[in-house]
């Protein structure tokens, strides 16, 4: 009987631990692409952050197969020395591209197998790695990018992010999970790293004088979106990494999840295997060997731009952090070098990458002057509303699962909408573009989500989703059942947004407007801009 995808993955991981293949990668680098064991290429490479690019034989008919390499950056905190190293590696081995992802990683593309060890070494020299950036392990642990700086944060969650990363990433005990495992630690009040859609989401709260975390489990998007549910517990600060480890162990030991690869995420323990919050709490406490205190009340953040963009005072008087929009995370070596130069000159020698694919320079004394320089670099601090809120997945440029191109499309659409609708309200529109139903562009939580589809004539098109959001009144988008060709997107979306501008209530965000309006009206406005009037 033919092996299923899940059986093949599990067999390959069991035969040799994915993190043990560094010597093999060195050998492949010497002997060339043809020498690569397909089982390493398809499964074990991922544990080292290496993915085949395009169809595995290169994209656009390239004769030499190439790879994507994802650099893991816990909490998105990067020194300028590290940023320059990534820029240099990108320039030398990746055609200068360095995309910022919505999990605070940087992705290099176009890397040949012969160059992979050089990338490993270049990253290791500055304390970075691709280990665990892809594959069936704990992915980059995300956190608030202004941790330790933000005047209003509940706590600086970055030590917890680093401790979870230290315990889980590279630890053989957690090197073969059923599938990817995503953890987020939010110390800020905005919950900017989206704890609701992670397998494990921790959000800082106070219990009297004690600082700790609330715990949400089983969040995720893809084809079966689920908001993480909150357990009745308070995690004392010092136990946060213990709890993360306990949940990782529960996930690892849930063999039922290893039977179907597309249902191997932790949320399926809730969705398919009858687990509930009480059972999770019991299992966690059993692994901790002691009960956790009950949950305490918490303030859910309002939905909206959770991105720390613009100029903000830091906790330390006289210092500011400055957030600039990167436009769908598309960056390159020269821009990274320029950002590092600005961060050294104006700031404290750090860059912070956000979950909305943007960048923040902290420790700044003259934010206005820095904002001017960032503007010149094409990284606006006061970005227009649509550009600021636009996110896109990798799409067909490099992703072999994609139905449509996304990054160029989303950036062009945002720019065109900003040009056509300069009167759009100051609050950003969270426009998420995703190239297939796998939802890496997170269209499920968008105010306006566009998912790539193939039109009947074979052209690239997009299906429209509206009204998603997190925080208070969290809900996933509503599918409108409207599809249009990609080249009609600007006209269609302009029509929809003009309908919003004409009929919205005072201060009403697009998300709430779209939730309030019946489908036929939204569909009418999606027809043309004239229909909106």
Nearer to ligand SF4, 104 or 254 (CB): 104
The three-point CA angle 15-71-175 to 5° equals 25
Q: Among 355, 377, 320, which Cα is nearest to 470's?
A: 355
Which helix (H) or strand (E) covers residue 416, if one does? helix 407-420
Among 244, 364, 431, 440, binds ligand SF4 (CB under 6 A): 440
435, 449, 452, 495: the active-site residue: 435
Q: How far is the CB of 39 from ligand SF4 (least distance, A)?
A: 21
Residues 215-254 that bind ligand SF4 (CB under 6 A): none
Residues 384-403 that bind ligand SF4 (CB under 6 A): 393-395, 399, 401-402
Could you confirm whether 441 is annotated as catalytic? yes
Do residues 223 and 285 make contact, with C-beta atoms less than 8 angstroms apart? no
Whose tokens are 């070494």? That residue is: 121
Nearer to ligand SF4, 159 or 435 (CB): 435
Could you confirm whether 440 is annotated as catalytic? yes
Q: Which contacts of 255-259 are long-range, i.e. CB under 8 A and separated by 24 or more positions?
A: 257/178, 257/179, 258/6, 258/10, 258/178, 259/6
Q: How far is the CB of 96 from ligand SF4 (least distance, A)?
A: 21
Nearer to ligand SF4, 169 or 406 (CB): 406
Whose tokens are 């919505």? That residue is: 102
CA distance 441 to 206: 33
41, 44, 46, 70: the active-site residue: 70
- What character string, x for contact with ligand SF4 (CB under 6 A) and - otherwise, covers 349-388? ----------------------------------------
Could you confirm whether 70 is annotated as catalytic? yes
Nearer to ligand SF4, 359 or 450 (CB): 450
Phi, psi for residue 206 in degrees, rounded to 5 = -110, 140
Nearer to ligand SF4, 354 or 434 (CB): 434
CA distance 17 to 342: 42
Nearer to ligand SF4, 62 or 223 (CB): 223
Could you confirm whether 134 is annotated as catalytic? no
Whose tokens are 């299992």? That residue is: 283
If you write DSSP's letter for every residue of 61-77 in order, what string do you get?
Answer: T-SS--EEEEEB-GGGE
Q: How far is the CB of 483 from ligand SF4 (least distance, A)?
A: 17
Question: CA dist 475 to 84, 95, 196, 511, 523, Å?
Answer: 40, 40, 11, 10, 20
Question: Is 339 among the residues that bind ligand SF4 (CB under 6 A)?
Answer: no
Question: Is 59 among the residues that bind ligand SF4 (CB under 6 A)?
Answer: no
CA distance 419 to 421: 6
Do residues 35 and 28 make contact, with C-beta atoms less than 8 angstroms apart? yes
Question: Is 436 among the residues that bind ligand SF4 (CB under 6 A)?
Answer: yes
Question: Is 434 among the residues that bind ligand SF4 (CB under 6 A)?
Answer: yes
Question: Is 151 among the residues that bind ligand SF4 (CB under 6 A)?
Answer: no
Q: Among 161, 168, 269, which Cα is nearest to 224's?
A: 269
CA distance 180 to 193: 17
441, 449, 467, 499: the active-site residue: 441
Among 412, 438, 501, 528, binds ligand SF4 (CB under 6 A): 438
Could you confirm whether 179 is annotated as catalytic? yes
Q: Which residues are catalytic?
A: 70, 179-180, 435, 440-441
Q: Which residues of the chain form contacts with ligand SF4 (CB under 6 A)?
A: 393-395, 399, 401-402, 434-436, 438-441
């Amino acid at each position: 009987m033919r092996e299923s995808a899940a059986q093949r993955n599990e067999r390959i991981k069991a035969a040799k631990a994915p993190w043990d293949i560094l010597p093999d990668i060195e050998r492949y680098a010497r002997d060339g692409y043809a020498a690569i064991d397909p089982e390493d290429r398809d499964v074990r490479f991922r544990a080292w952050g290496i993915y085949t690019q395009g169809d595995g034989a290169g994209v656009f008919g390239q004769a030499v197969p190439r790879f994507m390499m994802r650099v893991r950056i816990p909490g998105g905190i990067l020194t300028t020395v590290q940023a320059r190293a990534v820029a240099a590696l990108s320039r030398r081995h990746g055609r200068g591209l360095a995309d910022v992802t919505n999990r605070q990683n940087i992705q290099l593309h176009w890397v040949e197998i012969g160059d992979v060890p050089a990338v490993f070494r270049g990253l290791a020299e500055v304390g970075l790695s691709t280990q665990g950036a892809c594959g069936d392990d704990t992915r980059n642990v995300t956190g608030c990018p202004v941790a330790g700086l933000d005047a209003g944060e509940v706590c600086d969650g970055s030590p917890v992010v680093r401790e979870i990363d230290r315990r889980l990433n590279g630890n053989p005990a957690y090197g073969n999970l059923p599938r990817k495992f995503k953890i987020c630690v939010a110390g800020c009040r905005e919950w900017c790293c989206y704890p609701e859609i992670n397998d494990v989401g921790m959000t800082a709260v106070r219990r009297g004088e004690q600082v700790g975390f609330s715990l949400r489990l089983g969040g995720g998007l893809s084809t079966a979106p689920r908001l993480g549910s909150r357990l009745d517990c308070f995690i004392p600060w010092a136990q946060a990494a213990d709890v993360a480890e306990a949940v990782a162990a529960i996930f690892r030991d849930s063999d039922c999840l290893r039977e179907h690869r597309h249902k191997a995420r932790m949320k399926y323990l809730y969705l398919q295997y009858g687990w509930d919050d009480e059972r999770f709490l019991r299992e966690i406490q059993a692994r901790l060997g002691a009960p956790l205190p009950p949950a305490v009340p918490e303030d859910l953040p309002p939905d909206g731009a959770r991105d720390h963009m613009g100029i903000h005072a830091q906790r330390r008087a006289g210092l500011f952090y400055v957030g600039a929009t990167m436009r769908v995370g598309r960056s390159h070596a020269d821009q990274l070098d320029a950002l590092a130069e600005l961060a050294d000159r104006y700031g404290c020698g750090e860059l912070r990458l956000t979950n909305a694919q943007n960048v923040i320079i902290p420790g700044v004394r003259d934010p206005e002057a820095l904002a001017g320089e960032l503007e010149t670099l094409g990284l606006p601090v006061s970005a227009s509303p649509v550009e600021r809120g636009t996110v896109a997945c990798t799409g067909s440029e490099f992703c072999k699962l994609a139905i449509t191109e996304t990054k160029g499309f989303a950036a062009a659409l945002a720019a065109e909408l900003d040009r056509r609708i300069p009167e759009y309200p100051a609050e950003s529109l969270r426009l998420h573009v995703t190239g297939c139903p796998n939802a890496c562009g997170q269209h499920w939580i968008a105010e306006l989500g566009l998912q790539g589809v193939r039109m009947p004539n074979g052209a690239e098109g997009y299906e429209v989703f509206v009204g998603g959001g997190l925080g208070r009144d969290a809900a996933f988008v509503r599918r409108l059942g409207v599809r249009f060709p990609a080249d009609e997107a600007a006209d269609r979306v302009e029509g929809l947004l003009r309908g919003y501008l004409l009929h919205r209530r005072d201060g009403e965000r697009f998300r709430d407007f779209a939730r309030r309006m019946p489908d036929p009206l939204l569909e009418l406005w999606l027809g043309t801009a004239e229909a909106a009037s």
